[in-house]
Structure 1
């Protein structure tokens, strides 16, 4: 009962913050980033996922719910935050599997159903066998500008064209197909003098088992140029849909205050036993000015610590980096204790073999 009271109080606080944010939005266009958002840790194939790890811009009294589909498939309903367009795949969604074996989760489709946002998610074991495994999920939709150097942008690719996009410089993003399973994404106006920020990529495919990652990253003063690479149930390059989000000094939803507590890092030296702070500092951001660290936790496993920003409810997303077919997920639910977040662990694979692999990790609190 005491735990339930804490959860209810936490959700009431979120609602109060959101209401004040909506009042502020009437006076400034910049507060429109994001328009709507939600996240959850889906630890069940039916019912209400863990209340301590879900939050969103919906009013009080509502919760994320999950219903099962075919094997390995669930439908996640974010209440009262249906995207502004009834067109499928408006806004952007990311999912990350939590498993101790070589598995991943992908988005099949997401759409607005009345006032709600529905996301179909399906998970697979390497090789293509579908199965249910817990996963973390985040959805957001944004409009309006942001002042530099803060930057935020996303692209939803439907397999042949851009289906949805946002750019905080109000520029038009572009996607250039390069070869089978490879695309170049250009985010104009969001440039940086060196690598700065964080990137998350998720496969979107309603038919095929698919997983996607960041293949390369080439920032410049005028734009971010990011390569997306996707593979099938094994290691074969695959043309598929995907979502990509770029964040710099903003939460993965595009929001700023709230939340006051968010962080991200790019583990670009996975052979470093650590603990080490990824460099340059612009890829290792902590909204409370603490220093995030990464260290080895076993073969192919990395322990990530985000100090001071650990406030429930919260969410973690992971994306692999590199030119090969490797992919990464989470071993289990992250820990939140004493104000710190311990991601124990990010784990990466090539096939079913654990490998040391660069990865992007993004953390978000509702507060």
Structure 2
């Protein structure tokens, strides 16, 4: 990888901060939810697609569903009922757009018994634009094998505001390398001798709903540690210091669960080995094929079961980015995910990415 020598040189010089420990509690995840917003113009309180949502509240409140509604142009609020956790937890959002629109988190917290997440979406050039998207929120605590699951919220200065690590290995080391470039060292989650393993997802946070994007520039194993370099840009594609969420998951669903769901997987389009995992079929079962310039189909065999959710994060240097080109399809028991990647002007561009997919079942 041509970016890695520079990244490793910067790593040697960066001051790495360690975040305070999260509160101890039961097995992960404590609370979670996922949903899809196909029509970003619906009014507040609209029930979101019930075939593409689920959450931890469903066990105690089976009649309740995640709802949503437009706040203003390009701004949308998702409400997960009965799981209020304040500003704890991690959020990932992925735009669904063939025109190169992209989305970020700009606010989240509790409203009574509910957890709300406000999402901002922009078209190329940075103008707010109503855009379909997928969303996942999860908060976790406690030590719970197997596999590994780690999350962090990192601020513009490179400090971890909150974090979680299912292995009990402790806080991530985080730091600002240069403006807009961050190092996140996640301890205890890798597999010695396996090279890269698992999957990484990154989502920008911008509290004023100004256009920002974040992605993985490079990642590498160091013993049991996974080191990730995250880069963030503004609407012009220039490196810009930005808050972000990061999730690492290995043989776990992206929201952190272990035994349920049993139908999940992930793949890195630039690699193989243990970065391609299917919980039903094992390593190497998922596939990526190019449909057209900048457009790809990811096939997840035998895990497109019941309510599902998917996310994608671009991988590499430069301002290019990726999202979903259209809603995913459950074809029999297979899941077919359409990924599109773009240059900074919103034109389709061949690029690399990390994809993750999960059912609630």
**Class of the TM-score when normalised by the shorter of the 2 chains:** 0.7 to 0.9
| 1:306 counterpart residue number | 300
Provide the alpha-carbon RMSD of the alignment. 1.5
- TM-superposed deviation, 1:50: 0.9
Structure 2 partner of 1:288: 280
- Deviation of 1:341 (Å): 0.2
**1:124-163 mapped onto 2 (5 Å cutoff):** 124-147=122-145, 150-160=147-157, 161-163=159-161
Matching residue within 82, 97, 106 for 2:84: 82
Q: Equivalents in 1 of 2:241, 2:139: separation in Å?
A: 25
Cα distance in structure 2, aligned partners of 1:283 and 1:184: 20
Say which structure is richer in helix.
1
> Any stretches of 5+ residues in structure 2 without a counterpart?
1-23
Partner Cα distance (1:181, 1:74) in 2: 26
- Alignment-derived partner of residue 231 in structure 1: 233
- Which residue number in structure 2 is paired with residue 364 of structure 1? 358
Give the superposition deviation at 1:353: 2.5
2:343 alignment partner in structure 1: 350
Does the 8 Å contact 1:44/1:66 carry over to 2? no
5 Å matches for 1:1-367? 32-45=27-40, 46=42, 47-58=46-57, 59-83=61-85, 86=86, 88=87, 90-147=88-145, 150-160=147-157, 161-170=159-168, 171-192=170-191, 193=193, 194-207=195-208, 208-268=210-270, 279-280=272-273, 282-289=274-281, 291-343=285-337, 345-351=338-344, 352-367=346-361
Distance in 1 separating the partners of 2:135 and 2:98? 18
**Residues 167-191 of structure 1: per-residue CA shift (max 9 Å, x gap):** 1122111211011100000111113
Aligned pair in 2 of structure 1 residues 158, 70: CA closer, same or farther (>3 Å)?
farther
Q: Structure 1: 5+ residue runs without aligned partners?
A: 1-28, 269-277
Taking a change above 3 Å as real, the CA distance of residues 30 and 164 of structure 1, as seen in their structure-2 partners, is: closer
TM-score normalised by structure 2 residue count = 0.87
TM-score by length of 1: 0.85
Give the paired residue count.
323
Map of 2:14 onto structure 1: none
Query: For 1:255 and 1:285, how far apart are their aligned partners in 2?
Result: 15
Counterpart Cα distance in 1 of 2:145 and 2:264: 18
